[in-house]
Chain A
């Protein structure tokens, strides 16, 4: 292991590439003996400068830009932005449009949770579960494609409404698809809670109590697995959620296994919601007019993305282009909570805690710089894991 010229310099190997779920990041721990005294993360590999980009595009063009922040929760970004702009221009959207928006948001949650289940299994070396979950995910992708015309970026939202309608035939197809997925989800719940090798990798890993979760500001299923009942669909219902109440799914033990279970239980909840929306779909037209120039105003719009609370702050100055759009994605909350959760833990625990905190971490770069008072070394993630194992032997 070559020593480094100065501690700040870090070498990024081209590690195995995953569908990097947000910015591939990179971790740096300062260690005193065995206890971690400080940790920091370095993002930026996927930073494209979108917030600056939004200031040079009109309100309508921004819809398509913001949708492409993340390929897995693209509808949720567009929904948050559209709700924010409608608040700015105080336009009220017809109920049918809100219901269709909620329907597509829930279908996207299924697609995101199944994808995460597959990637987490693949990361733990369980390829069969990866193949099965992604095969079943194709069902919901077909439904979304039937409804909106595209598999990933659906562009369902228009400022002031939706440009897609759900007719009876599509509703039946969605109901059949949801029934099939419910069968499969029962099977996955059985696999995740009984398969020995999988339990060996997930039980008791990265345990986080409710106070810790709250103290560290974790959001979404990661927080709810530790008993933190924070769900924007319940706290601040938006779009059509007031009409379709959601029961928050929380776990208690707060380890990685609990996060799997919470996400799978959320799938059941989503299936129930989709059936409810399809049965009680309000009638009416799909869009409302929205002025080209939005009056000067500020608005905050919060939406429950599959990974947690997505926070949009929009500011308009009366012109055709926004003055400022701030996007705070849920993953950054989970990352900042890991940084603070790591202080005080032993270095040997870190690999499991990091992959336990949010499995999409593990697709980050594999490099951990360990700055020891005696001089810093560059370790790969795997060497850190190896160090952890020898430490405990």
Chain B
């Protein structure tokens, strides 16, 4: 958190807690596929469907990076989509978080060594939460998101 000017009164702590509470309970997400085999993408979309339904935790898939707090990205960043991934990340307003889903996003996965990929997402943008698995189950993705939100509490 950027260092805010310290307000003397306890009012500041209350405001801080309310802000954190709001951020935990309504993490809007945007999903970016930087070259994934879309196995992870259909699992991310499956988390929004009736059986798993991430809307219970307030997660809503947004269209524009301007509206999103959490960037869920998949795939071993291909050279072509590297710049677009950066642009998406920069367009998102603070405070923003990045979740890398799938072993490709973590380490280039099975495509390690192919000539057109850069490897993992963390080589392009800072990542807050890694969710391994090829593809991770929807429960694992939800667990990852909840863990990220828990982390916010501190």
**Interface residues, chain A, with chain B CB atoms under 8 Å away:** 12, 14, 16-21, 24, 44-50, 52-53, 56, 64-65, 68-72, 74, 115, 130-131, 134-135, 138, 141, 151-153
Which residues on the A side are within 8 Å of B109 (C-beta)? 68
For the complex of A and B, list the 4 residue pairs with the smallest distance between their C-beta atoms, beginning with the closest.
A71-B39, A19-B41, A134-B49, A49-B114
Interface residues in B29-78 by Cβ distance below 8 A to A read 30-33, 35-46, 49-51, 63, 65, 75-76, 78
Contacts of A138 in B (CB 8 A): 46, 49, 51
Please measure, in the bound complex, the distance between the C-alpha atom of A24 and the C-alpha atom of B31, giving whole angstroms: 14
Known: A45-B80, A46-B36, A152-B135. A17 touches B30 (CB 8 A): yes
Nearest A-chain residue to B109, judged by Cβ:
A68
Report whether B110 and A64 are in contact in the complex, using a CB–CB cutoff of 8 Å.
yes
Is the beta-carbon distance between B114 and A52 smaller than 8 angstroms?
yes
How many A-B contacts are there with CB distance less than 8 Å? 113
Cβ of A45: which chain B residues have Cβ within 8 Å of it?
35, 78, 80-81, 84
Q: Is the interface of A mostly helix, strand, loop or mixed?
A: loop
Asked whether B137 is an interface residue with its Cβ less than 8 Å from the other chain, the reply is yes
- The residue of chain B having its C-beta at the shortest distance from the C-beta of A133 within the complex is B49
B95 interface hit (Cβ, 8 Å): no
Q: Which residue of A lies closest to B32 (CB)?
A: A17
Contact of A134 among B45, B76, B84 (CB under 8 A): B45
B111 within 8 Å of A by Cβ?
yes
Contact indicator B35/A71 (Cβ below 8 Å): no
Given A49-B117, A65-B111, also A19-B37 (CB < 8 A): no
B105 vs chain A, min Cβ distance (A) = 13
The one of A17, A68, A74 in contact with B33, judged by C-beta atoms closer than 8 angstroms, is: A17
The answer to the question of B128 belonging to the interface, with a C-beta cut-off of 8 Å to chain A, is: no
Distance (whole angstroms) from the CB of A84 to the closest CB of chain B: 19
**Contact of B11 with A by CB under 8 A:** no
Contact, CB under 8 Å: B134 / A19: no
Shortest Cβ distance from B53 into A: residue: A131
CA distance A49 to B110 in the complex (A): 12
* Inter-chain contacts of A24 with B (CB < 8 A): 33
Q: Contact check: which of A12, A17, A71 meets B40 at CB < 8 Å? A: A71
B10 within 8 A of A: no
Mask: chain B, 118-142; 1 = CB below 8 Å from A; 0 = not = 0000000000000000110100000
Q: Given A16-B63, A70-B38, A71-B38 in contact, is the A53-B114 Cβ separation under 8 Å?
A: yes
Contact between chains at B39 and A135 (CB < 8 Å): no
Chain A CB within 8 A of B25 CB: no
